C-alpha cells in the first residue's frame, strides 16, 4: 500500500510472523520518502526532537482515549514504548496515522492506531519539512 502526497510518499510494509499455531507477531513500518531526492525521513527529521516527551504524553492520552489502554497502569508495555525512534507513523492528506503494533501483539487489538489532524500535530512538527508544508497547506 502507498500514499503519495505532493513531494512525499509513504509505503506501508506489513509482516506477520507465526510463532505457533495460535501466536503471531506483527511488524509494521511506514517509511516516508522524499520524491524529489529519494531520501528517507526519520522520526527526528519530521518531528521536533526536543518535543519527544510532549509527543509521548499526548500519544499516551490518545491511546487511553481511543484504544482503551491505560499505558501508565499497563504491565506489558511502558510509556517508553510509546514514542521511540522505531515508532510507526504514516502521513496522510488530513493528518498523521500513529500505529502501535506492540498493542496489537500484546492485546490482539484489531485497530491499534489512530489518525491525528495536522492542526493538532503542528506544534510538534519541524518547520520547513514536507510534512510541515502539508500541515500548512503548502
Q: Tell me the pLDDT tens digit for each residue of 4-52.
A: 566 777 777 777 777 666 656 566 777 888 888 888 888 888 888 888 8
Q: How far apart are CA 32 and CA 127, in angstroms?
A: 17
Please give the Cα distance from 31 to 91 (Å, whole number): 10
Using DSSP, state whether 8 is helix, strand or coil: strand
Q: CA-to-CA distance for 90 and 72, rounded, in angstroms? A: 25
Tens-place pLDDT, residues 35-45: 888 888 888 88
* 111, three cell numbers: 485497530
Residue percentage of the chain with pLDDT more than 70: 64
Domains of the chain, residue spans:
2-135
Distance CA 138, CA 118 (A): 13
Cα 30 from chain centroid? 8
Residue 24: predicted pLDDT: 60
CB 125, CB 135: distance < 8 Å: yes
Residues pairing with 25 in the sheet: 17
Cα–Cα distances in angstroms (integers) from residue 103 to residues 25, 69, 78, in the given order: 11, 9, 11
Q: Which residues contact 35 (CB under 8 A, 6 or more apart)?
A: 4, 7, 8, 9
Distance, CA of 133 to CA of 75 (rounded, Å): 39
Mean predicted confidence (pLDDT) in 84-110: 71
Amino acid at each position: 500500500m502507498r500514499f503519495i502526497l505532493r513531494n512525499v510518499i509513504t509505503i506501508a510494509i506489513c509482516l506477520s510472523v507465526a510463532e505457533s499455531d495460535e501466536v503471531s507477531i506483527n511488524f509494521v513500518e511506514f517509511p516516508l520518502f522524499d520524491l524529489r531526492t529519494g531520501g528517507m525521513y526519520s522520526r527526528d527529521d519530521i518531528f521536533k526532537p526536543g518535543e519527544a516527551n510532549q509527543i509521548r504524553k499526548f500519544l499516551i492520552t490518545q491511546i487511553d482515549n481511543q484504544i482503551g489502554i491505560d499505558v501508565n497502569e499497563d504491565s506489558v508495555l511502558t510509556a517508553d514504548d510509546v514514542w521511540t525512534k522505531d515508532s510507526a507513523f504514516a502521513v496522510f492528506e488530513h493528518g498523521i496515522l500513529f500505529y502501535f503494533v506492540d498493542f496489537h501483539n500484546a492485546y490482539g487489538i484489531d485497530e491499534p492506531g489512530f489518525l491525528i489532524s495536522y492542526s493538532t500535530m503542528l506544534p510538534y512538527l519541524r518547520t520547513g519539512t514536507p510534512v510541515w508544508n502539508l500541515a500548512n497547506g503548502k
